[in-house]
Every structure is written in structure tokens, then in C-alpha cells.
Amino acid sequence: MALMKVKIGTRKSKLALWQANFVKEFLEKYWGVEVELVKITTTGDKITDVSLAKIGGKGLFVKEIEKALLEGYIDLAVHSLKDVPMEIPEGLTLGAITKRETPYDVLISRGGKKLSELPSGAKVGTSSLRRQVQIKKRRKDLRVEVLRGNVDTRMRKLKEGTYDAIVLAYAGVKRMGYLDEVTEILEEFIPAVGQGSLAIEIREVDRKIEELIKPLNHKESYISALCERAFLRELEGGCQVPIGAFAEVKGGEVRLKAFISDLEAQRFIEGQDIGEVQKAEEVGKRLADRLLNMGGREILEEIYSSQ
């Protein structure tokens, strides 16, 4: 392939730049192309003191980058897959999903206490409703409070004593070099849709870029993403509702576990499904319908009507 210059759109945070550089280095090494990072400030980056559920959800982290992509200012965008809304703007597509990092959440606490060992009334910080309800389900006696900001900011607030413990994604903690600080990997928590994978968004008509990024697509992670995103799309859920879904591909099958909860974890509806990998999206839709019929629909209606 002839030498060309590729522009990658990315947020400015350290984690976003790590992710963009991961793709940049691959493209330079694999294809010998010249790659430039174009740093873009998103609405989500500007508002850091309010819960995402109150300001419109995770789409706020991608909108400006998608606009730059549609206008041809950049050639591709690198996002955390969990930040990408279910509806992709017309003219754009997810061209590749990278190999998934460990998808679980982790607890980092002062004094090295696990979730079950934290004293009653301990303050736990997290930005995610999904994490909040899973903490409440296990420890109703803890104080769960909203914690926004990048990984460095959250770690600083923990060390300053603002919180007794914080819950973060394993992937972000690893990429930012804080794995040694992890107290506990919360494998019993159901992760966010897409957590651990990177999404590379491109213009639908751009065959050159599509070919460039094809080697970055990881088949099993892509199938898991299809399944989880089909589940979430069927629920029409976003950051405003506590929802988790985790799909794994094993031996030609995709296995999905997921939940819907009210905000206090008093009604916590969970289930599992399994199907052929070729029908990954059907598995997601089927489980979503089942959870809706088990009481999930009422929970969603209540949460949305109260906003």
C-alpha cells in the first residue's frame, strides 16, 4: 500500500490518548503509513461535576468526534466501545472491534479491604449506575456516591480520603498503570456493554480505511459486542438505567448474561441465554425481551417517567 497519511480522532484524556496511540502504533508498524492524532474536546469532557445519567449519557463523549469524521476532518475515530451509543449516525459504521481486555470491574480501597470487608457506612465512589446497584445489591449498608473524572483524578480522590473505596474498569486501570493498586477483581459484577474493547469508527464509504483497520478486528470480541449491543438496543437503555450485559464466545456458541435493575437494587432482574455465534444478535434480543417481560419494562418506564 502506498504511503498515506491517516488522521485519528480522539478525546484528550490520558486513557483516550493511550487507546488512540495503540491504534496509531499498529497502523504505522503493520502498514507503514503516517498517522496523526487529532485531539477533540467533547461535551462530556467539559462537564465533569454531574452524573452522566443527568446530562444525556455517554453519547456526549463521541458526538463532536463523529461530526469531525462525517466532515472528513479525520479518517477514523477510536472510542471505548462502552461509550459508543447504540445508534450510529448515518454514513458512519464501526469498522473494527479490538481484542477485549479483561472486561470486569475492580475495587480499589484504602487499607486493602475487599467489598465484603469494608466497614458499614464506608463511602464508595463510582460514576456508573450499573456499578452502584451491584454494590447496593451486595452491601446495602455502604454509602455509594457519584465519582466522575479520569482515572488519575479518581485515584487522587481515593488517596486524599474523599472515598474509602472506588470501583473502576479493569481495562482503564491497567492501561493507566494502576494494576498494582487493585484490591479485588469484581468478577461477580456484570460489566457494561462493550467494556474492555476499543471501537474504531469509520465512514461507510471509505474502503481504504476499512482495509487498513481490518487486521485490528478481533472476531470473538466483535461477536460479543454484537450480542451485547443488540441486548441494549432492544431495551433502548442508556446511562440513565442500571443495565449490564456480558457475552462470551465459546466453541461456536455465544453465552450472554445480563440484568436490569431499579435505582436501589430492590428489583434486580437477571438472566442468561445461549445460541450460535451466527445468531449473536438474536441471543441479545431474546434475553432483552425475557427480562422486559420479567418486570424490566416496568422498571424502565418508572425510571424514564421520573426524569
Supply the pLDDT for residue 236. Answer: 81
Sign of the torsion formed by the C-alpha atoms of 53, 56, 62 and 65:
negative
Supply the pLDDT for residue 131. Answer: 97
Question: According to the CATH classification, is domain 105-186 in 3.40.190.10?
Answer: yes
pLDDT one-digit tens code per residue, 13-40: 999 999 999 999 999 999 999 999 999 9
Sign of the torsion formed by the C-alpha atoms of 21, 22, 26 and 27:
negative
Rounded Cα distance between 188 and 95, Å, is: 31
Supply the pLDDT for residue 305. Answer: 86
Supply the pLDDT for residue 1. Answer: 46
Rounded Cα distance between 71 and 3, Å, is: 23
Residues in the chain predicted with pLDDT less than 70, given as ranges, are 1-3, 43-59, 237-239, 307
Q: Which residues contact 58 (CB under 8 A, 6 or more apart)?
A: 44, 52, 82, 83, 84, 85, 238, 239
Supply the pLDDT for residue 130. Answer: 95
Supply the pLDDT for residue 225. Answer: 98
Rounded Cα distance between 280 and 226, Å, is: 6
Fold of the 232-305 domain: Double Stranded RNA Binding Domain (3.30.160)
Second CATH level (architecture) for the domain 5-99+197-217? 3-Layer(aba) Sandwich (3.40)
Question: CATH topology of 5-99+197-217 equal to that of 105-186?
Answer: yes
In the annotation, is 83 catalytic?
yes
> Domain locations in the chain?
5-99+197-217, 105-186, 232-305
Which one from 83, 206, 262, 273 is the annotated catalytic residue? Answer: 83
